[in-house]
């Protein structure tokens, strides 16, 4: 999860991406909606109960932040599409030791490959820019090679990034990777383009709103159809911040690849229902997530990619009591006792 503030001259309510900077066709799941299954809680239901909840709530895709054999076992024959992450602390070994990558695949992918629908493997979450960034692409290459050596095909290997990789994000058409991130992102997106694999991006309009609620219109951040704010950029109009952020990332990728297409998957997005943050209410969280599901599932895509819905994963399934105090403990759709924090209509994503 990412969020923060930078200094940028922007018009009111146009802070679509600027304040986030400190912060498909793949397997036929364009416009699919999934939910992140975070496990930083000491009071969460068992994996079997959680996967049963996914099925009962019509949630057809899940993202796991790290490999967990109990969860993977619960996912067998569930039909749920799975994004499987590595621990960030494993990136150095995955990058430097091909035998470790082979062992990782043999432990967490091979035993489940026939019965679990793996969508992507992401090597690291939100480590670019930063000290571990240099390990990401070598880790991706070694995991790719390990999958191939194991006879496993059709699982793209990628990474998940925060919007902190962007140095320019407004207007969206001028999106570009920062000087700190570009040396890592440019070869990564070129590699993804060569493999036909997507880049995973964590997108949080909430943090843009919370950083400057006096100037960012709430409706623009919440994808509320009734709001009147919009941003015009190169002849296209943005009526919500989510699309603006996604398209700024699209523009950055295109600049880095010389125009080669790389699909984006929104691997995290959400809104806190409590914790004391600006705008962190049950009503706003319910509005954001339900509006987002309708928007993504409607098939309109973004202004830069009209008609190409974005595969999107909500954060997160549960309120997690071992995350940092404050809003981070309140992004869950459900309480640990499996009751709803608020109702989310996943039927709209079917």
Distance from C-alpha of 334 to C-alpha of 341, rounded to nearest angstrom:
5
Residue 231's H or E segment, with its range, is strand 231-233
Helix (H, G, I), strand (E, B) or coil at 157: strand
Contact yes or no for 124/139 (Cβ under 8 A): yes
| Residues 247 and 302: beta-carbon distance below 8 Å | yes
Catalytic position from the list 268, 311, 320, 328: 268
Helix, strand or coil, per DSSP, at residue 211: helix
Helices (H), the chain: 47-56, 69-74, 91-96, 98-108, 136-149, 182-195, 205-211, 218-222, 241-257, 282-297
Q: How far apart are CA 242 and CA 298, in angstroms?
A: 14
263 among known catalytic residues:
no
DSSP state of 12: T
Contacts 24+ apart (CB under 8 A), 48-53: 48/74, 49/338, 50/74, 50/317, 51/75, 51/78, 51/80, 53/317, 53/334, 53/338
DSSP per residue over 78-94, as a string?
S--EEEEEPPGGGHHHH
Q: Which residues of 98-137 are buried (b: 16+ CB within 10 A; e: fewer)?
A: bebbbebbeebbbebbeebbbbbbbbbbbbbbeebbbbbb
Phi, psi of 196 (to 5 degrees): 65, 30
Task: Answer whether 17's CB lies under 8 Å from 168's CB.
Answer: no
Q: Residues with Cβ < 8 Å from 115, sequence gap 6 or more?
A: 75, 76, 77
89 catalytic? Reply is no
Query: Which positions are catalytic?
Result: 126, 268
């Amino acid at each position: 999860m990412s969020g923060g503030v930078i200094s940028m001259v922007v018009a009111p309510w146009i802070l679509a991406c600027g304040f986030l900077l400190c912060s498909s066709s793949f397997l036929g799941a364009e416009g699919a909606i999934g939910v992140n299954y975070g496990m930083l809680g000491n009071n969460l239901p068992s994996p079997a109960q959680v996967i049963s909840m996914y099925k009962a709530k019509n949630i057809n895709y899940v993202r796991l932040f790290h490999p967990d054999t109990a969860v993977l076992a619960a996912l067998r024959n569930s039909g749920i599409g799975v994004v499987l992450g590595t621990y960030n602390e494993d990136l150095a070994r995955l990058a430097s030791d091909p035998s470790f990558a082979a062992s990782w695949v043999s432990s967490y992918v091979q035993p489940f490959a026939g019965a679990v629908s793996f969508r992507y493997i992401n090597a690291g979450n939100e480590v670019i820019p930063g000290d571990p960034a240099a390990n990401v692409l070598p880790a991706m290459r070694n995991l790719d090679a390990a999958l191939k050596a194991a006879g496993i095909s059709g699982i793209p290997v990628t990474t998940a990034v925060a919007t902190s990789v962007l140095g320019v994000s407004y207007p969206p058409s001028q999106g570009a990777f920062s000087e700190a991130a570009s040396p890592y992102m440019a070869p990564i997106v070129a590699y993804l383009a060569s493999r036909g694999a997507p880049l995973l991006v964590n997108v949080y309009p909430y943090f843009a709103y919370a950083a400057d609620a006096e100037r960012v219109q709430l409706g623009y951040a919440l994808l509320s159809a009734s709001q009147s704010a919009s941003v015009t950029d190169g002849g296209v109009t943005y009526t919500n911040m989510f699309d603006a952020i996604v398209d700024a990332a699209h523009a950055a990728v295109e600049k880095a690849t010389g125009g080669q297409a790389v699909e984006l998957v929104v691997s995290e997005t959400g809104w806190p229902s409590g914790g004391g943050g600006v705008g962190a209410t049950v009503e706003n969280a319910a509005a954001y997530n339900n509006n987002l599901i309708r928007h993504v599932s409607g098939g309109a895509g973004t202004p830069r990619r009209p008609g190409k819905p974005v595969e999107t994963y909500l954060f997160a399934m549960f309120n997690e009591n071992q995350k940092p105090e404050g809003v981070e403990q309140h992004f869950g759709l459900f309480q640990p006792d499996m009751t709803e924090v608020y109702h989310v209509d996943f039927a709209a994503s079917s």
